[in-house]
Amino acid sequence: MISLLIVDDEKIIRRGLQSVIERQFPNRFSYRFAENGQEALELLRQEPADIMFTDIRMPIMDGIELLEQLQTHPVKPEVVLLSGYNDFVYAQRAIRCAVKDYLIKPVKRKELFAVLDRLLLDIRMREEQADTAGQEAGLSAAELVTLHLTQEDMGDAITPNNAGLSWLDAGYTLGLLTRRGGGSQVGRTDAVSFRNQIEELLHGYTDWMLTRDGKGGTIVIAPDPVLFYQLAERWRLRVPQSQLRIAISDSVQGIERIRWAYSQAKQTLKYGILLPELDVMEHAGIISERQERHVVPVEFIRRILNLIGTGRGEEMRQLLAQILDVRVISSCEIGYLEHISQLLNEELFDKLFRIYGYKVLDLLRSYAHVGHIGNFDRFEDYYISVEQLLDLLDQFIHDRREKAPTEPNTMQKVIAYLQTHYADDLNMAVVSNHFSLNYSYFSQAFQEYSGESFSNYVRRLRLDKAKQLLVYSDLKVYEISEQVGFENVKHFTRLFKDTEGITALEFRNRRRQMVEPSMHGT
């Protein structure tokens, strides 16, 4: 497993990142956590990490100081910087510390996964280079094909004549191979063992090449596509406990078409979830007659979010049956199912986590594999897992709501109270006691009603009041800070700049320039 260290002073962010990553990359990472840079350094001294995500703003030791301290470490992780605001000065300092990437909070799933994909590819390529480091100088034809697939501009490094690949000019088919049940995310040792098995099964055949795609995948190139069917048959006889799955491209000619052939095979392999009975999947036969476009039922997904926890499980399951209608999905390109899977994550599971936090984390983690269709060999298994997770979430949230405050206008009264008492020394204990509500259920009910946590709501409310005073009063910044309820002006000024991107005085000057002309003109 690849070791991942997440450094952030907010537990909900640490665990939230883990939950999102596990759903996309189940069983790929081992996780460790630190609340600040000093704690992270101690963990790294005990055991190095492959990848580290770290926040910038943390107590005791911030992210930049952590990076500077890491420069003297013999084994440094790949670092991704997290920040609640886009500060170019911090980004410049981070670049000097060889940061791999920079993500802005709240972190978007697409950006997070893109960063992890790049890092995983870098790690795989280093491992594969290490495998061949001890071999004699000069690349074999198979290694040159791998290089051609992974390098954007090969120049004159590979040509059919100088690499012993002139036979490709006569035409060939590229097959991308994987094992059903083993998943696509296998370790380096497993990948090497798999390639050795394939090479053994191909012994005695002529005109074929076994190589790698540079991303952990196994490729076979052959002039005659019949070889792939014969290979699948040999696998069935020799390794009956698992299924060999081969996705093959159309027939192409020349080394310059190899990336095109690889992209066809890679796309075809995705259809395995819909065609589990096939050992060999041909691109032309799989892709033809499929609809390119179909309206994704995003409104159905949002309706499930509204229904979950209300005890209307049957209605929820009917909506899921329409969302994951196998007749529609089987007639569409695989991107349709991929889009549905993405929306189930973003519009349903991620939003439930933002509302309920740790309370649903264990459920989401236990069904982490639901996060990506690539984790399933059969569509039916994916459907059942999604349905089971929804049922469990529905029951869990329903049980919590049964215990939560039932008076319909309770939260309205809480909001009105905060609007009046925002400058007081407020915390959840004070407010929940004021309304004679259980502390934990108050926290849950407030977030459900307002869409954000109690502390975030109060912070935003105070900042809004401060912005009004900055524009429409002559109070000094420290006076405004005190008047809206901040403990000290330093905390207020830092928070204001983090949120607005400019200082409080800059905000006052800009807004007054906009307001005063209209005031004088009336």
What would the two tokens of residue 278 be? 């096939």
Within a 10 A sphere around the Cβ of 95, how many other Cβ atoms? 11
H/E/C letters for each residue in 16-65? HHHHHHHHHCCCCEEEEEECCHHHHHHHHHHCCCCEEEEECCCCCCCHHH
Give pLDDT tens digits for 33-69: 999 999 999 999 889 999 999 988 888 888 888 888 8
What pLDDT score was predicted for residue 390? 95
What pLDDT score was predicted for residue 88? 45
Note the residue count of the chain. Answer: 522
What pLDDT score was predicted for residue 156? 42
What pLDDT score was predicted for residue 418? 93
Q: Is 316 in contact with 390 (CB distance < 8 Å)?
A: yes
Low-confidence ranges of the chain (pLDDT < 50): 88, 133-139, 154-160, 162, 182-188, 518-522
Which candidate, 257, 246, 185, places its Cα nearest to that of 220?
246
Which strands form 78-83's sheet, in the order they lie side by side?
A: 29-34, 2-7, 51-55, 78-83, 101-104
Q: What is the pTM of this model?
A: 0.65
What pLDDT score was predicted for residue 164? 66
Q: Is 50 in contact with 77 (CB distance < 8 Å)?
A: yes
Following DSSP, what letter does each residue of 104-147 receive, concatenated? ESSPPHHHHHHHHHHHHHHHHHHHHHHHHTTSPSS--HHHHHHH
What pLDDT score was predicted for residue 446? 85
Residue type, 168: L
What would the two tokens of residue 334 be? 């695989």
Q: Name the β-bridge partners of 213.
A: none
What pLDDT score was predicted for residue 287? 86
What would the two tokens of residue 327 be? 């007749």
What ranges make up the beta strands (E) of 354-485?
A: none
> Strand, coil or helix: what is 102?
strand
């055949």: which residue's tokens? 205
What pLDDT score was predicted for residue 184? 41
State the angle between helix axes of 454-472 and 439-450 in degrees (0 to 180), rounded to the nearest 10.
60
